Amino acid sequence: MWDRFLGHLAARRGWRMWVTAVGLGALAALALPPVHLVPVLLVAVPGLLVMAGAGGWRLAFWVGFAWGWGFFAAGLYWITHAILTEVDRFWWLVPIAVPALALPLAVFVAAPTALAVRVRAGWPRVLVFAGGFVLFELLRGWVFTGFPWNLLGTVWAFGALPVQGAAWVGVHGLSLATVLVAATPLLGWRAMAGGAAVVAGFALFGVLRLWPAEPAPQPVGILIVQGNVAQEVKWREESRIPILRRYIEGTREAALAALRDLPEDHGLVVIWPETAVPFLLADDPEVRQLVAGALPQRAMLLTGTVRAERGSDGRARRVFNSLVAIDPAGAVRGVADKVHLVPFGEYMPLSGLLPIRLVQGGMDFTPGESLRTVRAGWVPPFGGLICYEVIFPAQVVPAERPAWLVNVTNDAWFGISAGPWQHLAAARLRAVEEGLPLARAAQTGVSAVFDARGREVARTELGETGVLQALLPAAREATPFARLGLVTPITFAFGVLALGWWLGRRTPRAGRGAERLTAL
């Protein structure tokens, strides 16, 4: 029955072939957060390889392109919600933004698919495709400033146990294992049994890594305030004071209650999301004093805010998307500027050459010089990650290793959709990869605290107003991935591709299974 299904896919031609390829890619997107329907990959990946193998490398490229377009269009549908926040200006972008974005991303699936059909079917083709898929996934994190969103390894981020392998091989290593296992239905029951053993091995590794007791937390309480402010009202003039009041009032009582519950030798870190209030806090001492009035003496506020550098005439020359630390006296005790800006959201690529401008305000943001460990008084040194900076594997920890990571974000842009959950999955994986606890404050959710092994300590829900309280988990020793970075997954991906290429150039040995391998 399975062979008949694969044969049916291989025989598709014309528009039915392209529709099927797009549909298989969209089906694969169901494995991503928040659905995590991982078994669909056992159909989507073999289907791609069978259809791609029905012709030469040019046909394979376009089949892979159609599959990739379906995958990215379905996985990134939520980006349309960001346009709807200003639908009166950009209504014409609504039907084309996501399909257009998926076009260049589809190339990162098309290329390894075309490469894979250059070798014979069976294990060689599967190995070349898996290695090539991950190498192009790695490339996607760098080309045109990078967009490593929805890496395939994130399909396992529904819990801490399945992703513990990322401490050694990173999320890209999980992607490599995922593609190999997903393709095993092409190779018979022995290969499928081997794939099941690989999954079981990763699970066993997860159990063993999570088995030891978690060390005592650091003497710091965390209070995350989720204001739940809709993006379309945030920057309206009449909303400025009410939003500021919401965060101040939400902090004052919760901070006092939190300190009453903490031992006397513990401090309290209050975290507000990215650009939480529509004021330039670092440049506005009067507003900082209002904010500081909500902080008890043993507290420190870490908040996202826009920060400006002004010229002698008082006009802003450069603006930064920043994370600042404010003490109970209203003084700024530390600053981290966003390094990795969002194209079209925070700056316009090819400035002056495009006929549209999507960035809010009159000027582009300026990127910070580099990631830095922030030291703000008694607060354990931390690394600040603003918005989607947290999605970049091996690019989240400063040269001076901090005691924890703070991720502030404004996912209000994406409404009640899969986007915030996909962002949350990336944050969990960074904690596992680096062996560092991570606190995440999101404007509308999902806010969370993860320990250094990616276990969820506390979490809010998407679209709710409230506070989250937890103790700051302890940091762990630097993981193998934290020490070696992307060298490990790159080495494995190259090795798998090279092995497949070598096997694919050998003459297959005749015998049982040879006919099946040739057919696939």
Please say if 309 is a catalytic residue. Answer: no
Rounded to 5 degrees, φ, ψ at 157 are -85, 25
- In angstroms, the Cα distances linking 7 to 10, 73, 181, 348, 519 are 5, 27, 21, 47, 9
Cα separation, 361 vs 348, in Å, equals: 12
State the catalytic residue, choosing from 137, 234, 387, 389: 387
Q: How many CB atoms lie within 10 A of CB 333?
A: 18
Cα separation, 247 vs 465, in Å, equals: 10
Please say if 234 is a catalytic residue. Answer: no
State the catalytic residue, choosing from 338, 346, 389, 434: 338
In three state form, how does the secondary structure of 399-428 look? Answer: CCCCCEEEEEECHHHHCCCCHHHHHHHHHH
Cα separation, 314 vs 128, in Å, equals: 58
Q: State the maximum Cα–Cα separation within the chain, in Å, rounded to a whole number.
A: 83
Q: What is the CA radius of gyration of the chain?
A: 24
Answer for the pair 307, 338: CB distance below 8 angstroms, yes or no.
no
**Residue closest to 393 by CA, chosen among 59, 90, 151:** 151
Answer for the pair 370, 317: CB distance below 8 angstroms, yes or no.
no
Q: Which two tokens stand for residue 323?
A: 């994370």
Q: CA torsion sign, 429 to 435 to 437 to 443?
A: negative
Cα separation, 165 vs 200, in Å, equals: 12
State the catalytic residue, choosing from 137, 234, 274, 434: 274
Spatial CB neighbours of 355, under 8 Å, sequence gap ≥ 6: none
- In angstroms, the Cα distances linking 451 to 74, 238, 405, 485 are 31, 39, 10, 20
Answer for the pair 158, 456: CB distance below 8 angstroms, yes or no.
no
Please say if 274 is a catalytic residue. Answer: yes
Spatial CB neighbours of 439, under 8 Å, sequence gap ≥ 6: 222, 224, 269, 271, 404, 405, 406, 407, 448, 449, 470, 472
DSSP code at position 306: E
**Which sequence positions are flagged as catalytic?**
274, 338, 387
